[in-house]
């Protein structure tokens, strides 16, 4: 009886060890996805405008990659306009205001 129980527990450990690599492989990607999915624009006035306007050519991750000073956001948005981004003057102002208020150094520093 004792011997049989010992054999069973060894068998279970062996099976568990054999399964570990497979579990780790399939377990990785949902974790990575969850981490990226959590990275999104802060909820504030004009979030939807920025979300729509700044994901026409690339993902929002590019925008979230690093905080920038308000001056730098003006440069970035001007650069996007130069790359062909269509924005009215009103939208330009609101986008720059949103980015400066929500994604600049003092408010949203590096994690
Ligand atoms: C017309 C297409 C287009 C739109 C719309 C657009 N971008 Fe870009 N963006 C680009 C391209 C092309 C690059 C790559 C430029 C490069 O790295 O030379 C880029 C790169 C960037 C980068 C990385 C720049 C760097 O040097 O690190 C940031 C930040 C960025 N965009 C922010 C924004 C924001 C914020 C918006 C919304 C206001 C926006 N983009 C909308 C085309 C666009």
CA–CA dist 70, 6 (Å, integer): 66
In short, whether 41's Cβ falls inside 6 Å of ligand 1 is no
The domain spans of the chain are 25-102
pLDDT at 26: 44
pLDDT along the chain (111 residues), means of 10: 57 47 44 53 96 96 94 97 96 97 71 58
Question: Ligand 1 centre and the CA of 7: distance in Å?
Answer: 61
Mutate to test the pocket of ligand 1, among 54, 55, 81, 86 (most ligand atoms within 8 A of CB): 54
| Cβ–Cβ < 8 Å for 95, 46 | yes
In this prediction, residue 39 carries a pLDDT of 79
The CATH class for the domain spanning 25-102 reads: mainly alpha
Find out whether 62 and 1 touch, Cβ atoms under 8 Å.
no
**CB-CB contact of 96 with 53 (8 Å):** no
pTM, to two decimals? 0.72
Per-residue model confidence (pLDDT) at position 105: 81
Distance 64 CA to ligand 1 centre (A): 11
Question: What are the residue ranges of helices labelled H in 1-111?
Answer: 2-37, 47-53, 60-64, 70-82, 89-102
Q: Which pair of structure tokens corresponds to residue 79? A: 């650069």
**Lookup: tokens for 43:** 């909820």
Residue 26 Cβ inside 6 Å of ligand 1? The answer reads: no
């Amino acid at each position: 009886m004792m011997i049989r129980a010992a054999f069973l527990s060894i068998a279970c450990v062996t099976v568990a060890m054999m399964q570990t690599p497979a579990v780790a492989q399939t377990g990785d990607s949902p974790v990575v996805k969850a981490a990226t999915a959590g990275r999104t624009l802060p909820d504030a006035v004009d979030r939807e405008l920025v979300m729509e306007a700044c994901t026409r050519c690339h993902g929002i991750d590019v925008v979230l990659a690093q905080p920038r000073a308000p001056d730098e956001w003006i440069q970035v948005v001007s650069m996007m306009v130069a790359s062909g981004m269509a924005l009215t003057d009103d939208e330009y102002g609101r986008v720059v205001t949103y980015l400066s208020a929500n994604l600049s150094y003092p408010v949203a520093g590096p994690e």
